[in-house]
Structure 1
């Protein structure tokens, strides 16, 4: 008779070994110090309740082990939906880790440091790890290692556990990797490309000198607000250092915060802030692409059309464009489809920043009310989102009332910048478009000497953006409306918010700029263009084009391709001319 095989521990591994050895004819003795079997996977009865020592999870990639498990448990095996949370820094994180949740709770700056540290780890491989600390640093970077969640000293975990730990972390990496490669890195690459395109026209050689040398026009006003706060000493003393309540507070507040965080001079902070939010803007664009499952080729074409837009460089210089567009896209992203309270709250925070940055953010903040019209049952949360989104702009008016005794001081100061009144009928008045019928207007536009030196050229170009943008709004809205009415286009309710946002921004910008000859419309139309591109991409994705006759499709396709190439070429040429003008401190918009 064979001597028995002793197995220490009656947990799942010990019992499985005993079960298999018994099948093979070996005598087995299982030694267990507790009263029952199961180890850490067992359940105990306590005061009428069944309690578990911990989560009962079964994980294996070995088919034979999985087959054995199913064979033993049979019908007693229960499958439930897993709900696991990691409690870290007084916050709960989902497991497997969700990349967006980590960005939101850990913070953008810390997340950026983690990403850069990860990229550095991939570029500079470490030697073969001898413990867990080396393995994490080499696999994910030193910054993520600093956020370790374990209590055991990481150097005590040696090589024989690294393979198992790698398998356990794989689900988290599977969620993080697509976000990294499909969203974070492409958006970062486009931001860096924009910065590079601006630096090409500078005479300086280093980053700080290049961008500090670009400080001009509105950048001086923002800088005065950052350094001295809002001041008003009378309408007869309008200057950077005195009366400066002519700009909304969102961008100056962001510059002040990031400058202190990075410990840099506020003038450099103007550009770092703009470029960080430019990156965030591109992130939201790619998030929209992923949500709508836009084909890669379409993503590239749409992104290039935004990148080449004539005034897109304003996203990376000392202006509020990138903060406004990033918060606008974030507001639309979280408010249009989602109805979960926390996500609506996130939309409200984006809306607050949006309306605190530009006055045109106030009407856009009303867009979540469309959810009520579409039958949303969370009417209270939609109203709360709108209220929070309005708080940024309305809070600025309240500040002006409390500190300067006039809630509309912002509007009263606009005449001192050339805009003496707001013309709400400008969009339908003939004089808005009369420059287009002037020979001098077109001669100015096609004059190379004026393009590189005359302020009139930039103003003439801005005036041209008015009918072009209005025409694109009318055409895209008409096409979308016809296709939706005919039942050929789906999800048109989601696009409606984009169309309304584009129309609101264009109308208010035109009404405010009418008194000064629309001299800044080329810049004000930038967010309109970005929202329109997204609406167009969504429309193309969710529209059935089978109604177009087969014989027409090749000609239509070739026409669209030719039109895109021509438009992109014109955009890029104008972009480079305007970037050159801006780098040489000539008026652009």
Structure 2
């Protein structure tokens, strides 16, 4: 009896028997699986580059050198939980200055795999990076972005100077993965219970990872407004409630990520604002300077100087603020102008990306630290704004009259030069980071 005669119709699609090899091929043809595998390849490539830049004589020691700075505080949370008593040698600092989602996820990974806290934090960040890249690829696939444009987005994000923070012991990858999941699922929440639940969980995780996620609770309200605006019938109260209710639920869930941490602080330490106190006491009186965007000095463009064999990272950081501001204004302004002229479609779908990019840029640019000479717009925060703007630009391009044309040669050359310089800076910054030089 041959192999195919033993195969039942229930074993294969459409009742047609398949050989084992053909079955594996059918599995590989699954779009989601291919996107996951591609996201995994991108992340592993990033991990290899970061490890290559690490400190140590062996690959293991180089990999573990990616766990440093904030990773030490996250490891303390993983091992001991939150506490106001300073660990030995930490001075006035204590770990309540860090939000809980990332160390909580690392604790789960540590228990499942039996890892040390440092390695568990690295693995957790890198798993979140896989999700980050998967959602980006999923959005590009959903929008049917041309391969050339999709490749440009991936290359520019991969080569962003602060992108190595996606695979080291920081919470950037988890925060961005949650934000992108929210942006992917949120617009479909009214028509799908799964999308509603997924968006709510993503929003909660996002604002439980970093406090800057809390203001992004306004994003679901934009989707609610868009749903109401598209209503052809005269809106009644019942219809408005039906349209707004799912998005309001997501907004509340998003805000609760931060609020629940404040509630925990109130119950555990007697003060809901213990996080703010910890930042103020132990991190040099960190405070927000909301007038920063009106200070022209913050936007002065200059040529970075060399410090030894490397560009001075403080100069690179200061220069990054005006560059991000220019990119934000250019992309949003051009999109608005050409959309009004009718050359671009779908501007309303891109508004949440622009609002999120603007909020995150504003919060990073106003996060002043009086003891640092460098600009408060840290390079690692640039990955937030760049990701959102590049995705919005890809969506705009796909909804333009130029979608079937290849990118102009000048644009391709600009992308190549930008990616080359960005990757060189990223490798330099990662090399310094792994050797105890603060380059955030």
Q: Larger relative CO (CA 8 A, sep 6+): 1 or 2?
A: 2
Q: Give the aligned partner of residue 465 of structure 1.
A: 320
The answer to whether the Cα contact below 8 Å between 2:189 and 2:199 also exists between their aligned partners in 1 is no
Q: Give the aligned partner of residue 290 of structure 1.
A: 141
1:491 aligns with 2:346: yes
Q: Name the CA distance, whole Å, in 1 between partners of 2:397 and 2:298.
A: 32
Q: Give the aligned partner of residue 143 of structure 1.
A: none
The answer to whether the Cα contact below 8 Å between 1:292 and 1:538 also exists between their aligned partners in 2 is yes
Q: 2:308 aligns with which of 449, 453, 471?
A: 449
Q: Name the CA distance, whole Å, in 1 between partners of 2:325 and 2:177.
A: 23
* CA apart distance, 1:344: 1.4
Deviation by residue 1:161-181 (Cα, 9 ceiling, x = unmatched): 227434548799858623256
Q: Name the CA distance, whole Å, in 2 between partners of 1:218 and 1:209.
A: 18
Question: Counterparts of 1:560-575 in structure 2 under 5 Å?
Answer: 560-575=411-426
Deviation by residue 1:110-130 (Cα, 9 ceiling, x = unmatched): xxxxxxxxxxxxxxxxxxxx9
The answer to whether the Cα contact below 8 Å between 1:489 and 1:544 also exists between their aligned partners in 2 is yes
Q: Give the aligned partner of residue 211 of structure 2.
A: 359
CA separation of 1:237 and 1:583: change in aligned 2, threshold 3 A: closer
CA separation of 1:283 and 1:342: change in aligned 2, threshold 3 A: same
Q: Name the CA distance, whole Å, in 2 between partners of 1:406 and 1:172.
A: 56
Q: Name the CA distance, whole Å, in 1 between partners of 2:107 and 2:216.
A: 26
Segments of 5+ residues of structure 1 without an aligned counterpart are 1-129, 132-157, 547-552
Q: Which deviates more from structure 2 when the two are superposed, residues 409-418 or residues 321-330?
A: 409-418
* CA apart distance, 1:280: 0.6
CA separation of 1:295 and 1:244: change in aligned 2, threshold 3 A: same
Q: Which deviates more from structure 2 when the two are superposed, residues 510-519 or residues 560-569?
A: 510-519
| Alignment TM-score, normalising by the size of structure 1 | 0.66
CA separation of 1:201 and 1:371: change in aligned 2, threshold 3 A: closer
For the residue of structure 1 that corresponds to 2:7, the secondary structure is helix
Q: Give the aligned partner of residue 281 of structure 1.
A: 132
Q: Name the CA distance, whole Å, in 2 between partners of 1:199 and 1:245.
A: 29
Q: 1:402 aligns with which of 241, 252, 267?
A: 267
Q: Name the CA distance, whole Å, in 2 between partners of 1:337 and 1:491.
A: 15
The answer to whether the Cα contact below 8 Å between 2:365 and 2:377 also exists between their aligned partners in 1 is no
Q: Give the aligned partner of residue 412 of structure 1.
A: 277
Q: Give the aligned partner of residue 168 of structure 2.
A: 317
Alignment: residue pair count: 415
Q: Name the CA distance, whole Å, in 1 between partners of 2:411 and 2:93.
A: 52
Q: 1:427 aligns with which of 293, 309, 327?
A: 293
Q: Name the CA distance, whole Å, in 2 between partners of 1:427 and 1:241.
A: 31
Q: 2:223 aligns with which of 371, 386, 395?
A: 371
- Look at both structures and tell me which one has the larger radius of gyration over its CA atoms: 1
Q: Give the aligned partner of residue 76 of structure 1.
A: none
CA separation of 1:233 and 1:576: change in aligned 2, threshold 3 A: closer
* CA apart distance, 1:219: 0.8
CA separation of 1:240 and 1:250: change in aligned 2, threshold 3 A: farther
The answer to whether the Cα contact below 8 Å between 1:208 and 1:268 also exists between their aligned partners in 2 is no
* CA apart distance, 1:213: 2.5
CA separation of 1:363 and 1:210: change in aligned 2, threshold 3 A: same
The answer to whether the Cα contact below 8 Å between 1:347 and 1:385 also exists between their aligned partners in 2 is yes
For the residue of structure 1 that corresponds to 2:308, the secondary structure is helix
The answer to whether the Cα contact below 8 Å between 1:223 and 1:266 also exists between their aligned partners in 2 is yes
For the residue of structure 2 that corresponds to 1:504, the secondary structure is helix
Q: Name the CA distance, whole Å, in 2 between partners of 1:512 and 1:242.
A: 19
The answer to whether the Cα contact below 8 Å between 2:211 and 2:258 also exists between their aligned partners in 1 is yes
The answer to whether the Cα contact below 8 Å between 2:203 and 2:253 also exists between their aligned partners in 1 is yes
Deviation by residue 1:532-587 (Cα, 9 ceiling, x = unmatched): 111111111112259xxxxxx99x92322222122112111111211221222222
CA separation of 1:463 and 1:475: change in aligned 2, threshold 3 A: same
The answer to whether the Cα contact below 8 Å between 2:97 and 2:275 also exists between their aligned partners in 1 is yes
Q: Which structure has the highest helix share of the two?
A: 2
For the residue of structure 2 that corresponds to 1:406, the secondary structure is coil
Q: Give the aligned partner of residue 196 of structure 1.
A: 48
Question: Counterparts of 1:571-582 in structure 2 under 5 Å?
Answer: 571-582=422-433
Q: Name the CA distance, whole Å, in 1 between partners of 2:73 and 2:344.
A: 46
